[in-house]
Structure 1
């Protein structure tokens, strides 16, 4: 039994090793993938989010360490002045540093502000990953629609080529028209190949958000035609003040201010209390030792570190202002991009695409009845394909702009 089981384990080991190396999520469905499922998968298995959570957990240790008291020091000294045992002196001394100037409380506060910064960084990372997943999911949805459009275009081109071939056989058009129809069908076939390649790339980018290099889901399940709505301008600016990047910048400023307070507290020298006993064998008795030591701040008063942390506070304050201006500009740009793409998509959906569809149908019917030439059909077909492609691109741009707004503002609570 063992001799059959061992080769089986050896053969199965590469599969287990590969799964462990890539941390494949077992919950990814081998079925249509909704946006909520994709967001849940990324929230559970994204490596960047896991790293940010570990960083936040690590700051708990920093807070614990900052609140600890300094350890005492035990010193033992034995002096032999002569060879005789009765002239030896043995000294036991315990030294305990006493922190003055609020050093311990300043350290704890700085560590807590560092933990707040790690929590804000985690929130910002979550908003970024969420926006990336939304962007990647809609990219898959758009690529699927682009592939469907390419397939329909290929069918249209094939039907046009077949109709031209029948008219050539009937002697109604020149064989040159048939050649043009075949060239047009071949061009559409190239577009079909490109659409398949773009869909494969988009699927891999989406599944990579939760650490899966080989996507297992069948397709992105959603309606790309449904455009999201945005709140009014006042609500957007209200949410901008609570944006993850703003919270991170404010926490960094608070952390820098706490570190500056730590360096200020270190200007006050600490006192070290000494307590011990000296045993003299010659005298036959022990002597109590009590004392203290304190450094004299004649040269080093920590002035360099105080100046450094003060300038870093100024830097953090300027970065907070810069972040506010940058986010306001990015939000305005994303809002304009969303509005423009939305208007373009609505115009293409209601007017341009239906008109191009009617023109192509009329040109095809007229060509089959001998009223139009093949160039008219080819132009109408090209116009229809361009209109459909522009519509999909407008939808993709609208969803991409909405994802950018989500990245800036974070998830709505």
Structure 2
């Protein structure tokens, strides 16, 4: 008899300890959530604000202004005419015999420079002007890539917010399941082991909720880092994860590929290469070096004017290799453009087809699968309470519903992400914005 009461007392003590730990865990969770909510008042961030902040403050875009300043300095130098040179020369001094000393010395002071032929100065200036245009095109590419990254991280936060909502609902379902199981246990219809399993499932749901909240905090930091913030100043982002916009035909989308800065940059690169070809051709024309000066004859104390010019021979033949190299480099641009168009066609078709599949999956889940699973869970719970279904069947119905809701979130996030890829490839937003007014409510399960 004593052993029987000892076992009963030990079992009761374990249950009390577990309940106390569960109570402390829930209390800490609620206090932590309340402290966070009290310390950070709700502040919504829109996608347009995120884009504006990133374009203004992202460090990767600031380097282009510095490069432009450098090109302006190079352009200023390229516009300069050849410099004048002052020369001083002495002959016939410090020799032997009659040339001993400086009595027979000849002193010449001259001014010399170069006359550039073939439009070299204009070709240099044109090269740096086209370099600046090419730099602006590269900045547009970098800006478009930044916009795509901002949008993708924004979508990740939208999805993470819905995952937290789903995790909260999963915790509520687990808590409700625990109440139902305890009720059946008190009635003697369910063994004590099922209560322990329900308690473990409820604790795991709380851990999953905490994990989702932690992931959401990380994603906010990752988004804010794009405009240089280490601590996000917003608490949530606005938008509808389940609004996919309108479909557009693939051919219509592909026709817009030419507007992508990644393709337009080839036009500026082509003009840059043309400027390099012109500059190389100007080197085939020889420059004229001239000089003029005054010579002083010490022996006769007389002066005379000196003048001269010179130019290299066979410049055209010696420069033919540089011209051929510049022409080949220019022709390479056409090949690179064709390759880029083929690659972008493949990327666009992949994003287009995957987006359609993701939208179909999300709509099927939203309209058919999830409503059916919700009804099945309700009926299974009622049947379990009456003793017609087992605990495993009840938990399986709940698990299937949660998995379907999780799949819906992932499908919706994939559809929006592929839509962002399409927008980046076409350099245009899709019709019917995927990110509506902040006042519009988001889908809630």
Please confirm whether the aligned pair reaches a TM-score higher than 0.5, indicating the same fold: yes
1:3-402 equivalences in 2 (<5 Å)? 31-79=43-91, 81=93, 82=99, 86-297=103-314, 301-402=318-419
CA contact (8 A) 1:249 1:323 kept: no
Shift of 1:139: 0.6
Superposed displacement of residue 83, structure 1: 5.7
Can you give the 5+ residue segments of structure 2 that lack an aligned partner in the other structure? 1-40, 94-98, 431-445
Partner Cα separation in structure 1 for residue 71 and residue 382 of structure 2: 72
SS of 2:127's partner is helix
Secondary structure at the counterpart of residue 44 of structure 2? coil
Mapped contact 1:100–1:269 kept (Cα < 8 A): yes
Aligned 8 A contact 1:59 1:115 in 2: yes
Q: 1:346 to 1:307 in 2, by over 3 A?
A: same
Counterpart CA distance in 2 for 1:111 and 1:229 is 44
SS of equivalent to 1:212: coil
Question: In 2, distance between residues paired with 1:63 and 1:332?
Answer: 42
Q: What is the CA–CA distance in structure 1 between the aligned matches of 2:166 and 2:75, rounded to whole Å?
A: 58
Q: Secondary structure at the match of 1:274?
A: strand
CA distance in 1, matches of 2:349, 2:217: 33
CA distance in 2: counterparts of 1:354 and 1:170, whole angstroms = 32
Cα deviations across residues 168-194 of structure 1 (Å, max 9, x unaligned)? 121011223223323332332342233
Distance 1:54 1:355, change over 3 A: farther
Partner SS, residue 176 of structure 1: helix
Helix, strand or coil for the counterpart of 2:323? helix
TM-score, with structure 1 as normaliser: 0.87
TM-score (norm 2): 0.81
Once residues 278 and 165 of structure 1 are traced to their aligned partners in structure 2, the CA distance between those partners, rounded to angstroms, is: 118
Instruction: Return closer, same or farther for 1:76/1:412 CA change in 2, 3 Å cut-off.
Output: farther
The alpha carbon displacement at 1:118 in A equals: 0.5
For residues 277 and 289 of structure 1, the distance between their equivalents in structure 2, rounded to whole angstroms, comes to: 6
How far off its partner does 1:317 sit?
A: 2.1
Contact 1:52/1:125, CA 8 A, preserved across alignment: no
**Which moved further from structure 2: 392-401 or 180-189?**
180-189
The CA deviation at 1:85 is 5.4
Q: Which residue of 2 aligns with 1:11?
A: none
Larger Rg: 2
Q: How big is the shift at 1:36?
A: 0.9
8 Å contact kept, 1:256–1:313: yes
- Would you say the 8 A contact 1:124–1:410 is kept in 2? no
Q: Is the 8 A contact 1:253 1:320 kept in 2?
A: no
Distance 1:231 1:287, change over 3 A: farther
Say which is worse superposed, 284-293 or 113-122, in terms of deviation: 284-293
Q: Distance in 1 between matches of 2:100 and 2:181?
A: 123
Whole-angstrom CA distance in 2 between matches of 1:60 and 1:352: 62
Deviation at 1:283, TM superposition (A): 2.5
SS at 1:87 equivalent: coil
Q: Distance in 1 between matches of 2:147 and 2:312?
A: 54
* Secondary structure of the structure 2 residue equivalent to 1:267: coil
Provide closer, same or farther for how the CA distance between residues 156 and 335 of structure 1 changes in structure 2, counting only shifts above 3 A. Answer: same
CA distance in 1, matches of 2:147, 2:111: 57
Gap change, CA 1:230 and 1:65, over 3 Å in 2: farther
- Cα distance between partner residues in 2 of 1:216 and 1:298: 65
Three-state SS of the structure 1 residue aligned to 2:318 is: coil
Q: Is the partner of 2:314 in helix, strand or coil?
A: coil
Matches of 1:94 and 1:151, distance apart in 2? 87
Aligned equivalents of 1:300 and 1:125: distance in 2?
42
The runs of 5 or more residues in structure 1 that have no matched partner are 1-28
Q: CA deviation at 1:319?
A: 0.9
- Say if 1:147 and 1:195, in contact at 8 Å, map to a contact too: yes
Match of 2:11 in 1: none
What is the Cα deviation at residue 302 of structure 1?
2.5
Q: Distance in 1 between matches of 2:393 and 2:315?
A: 94
Q: CA deviation at 1:230?
A: 4.7
The CA distance in 1 between the partners of 2:60 and 2:101, in whole Å, is: 70
Deviates more, 1:389-398 or 1:181-190: 181-190
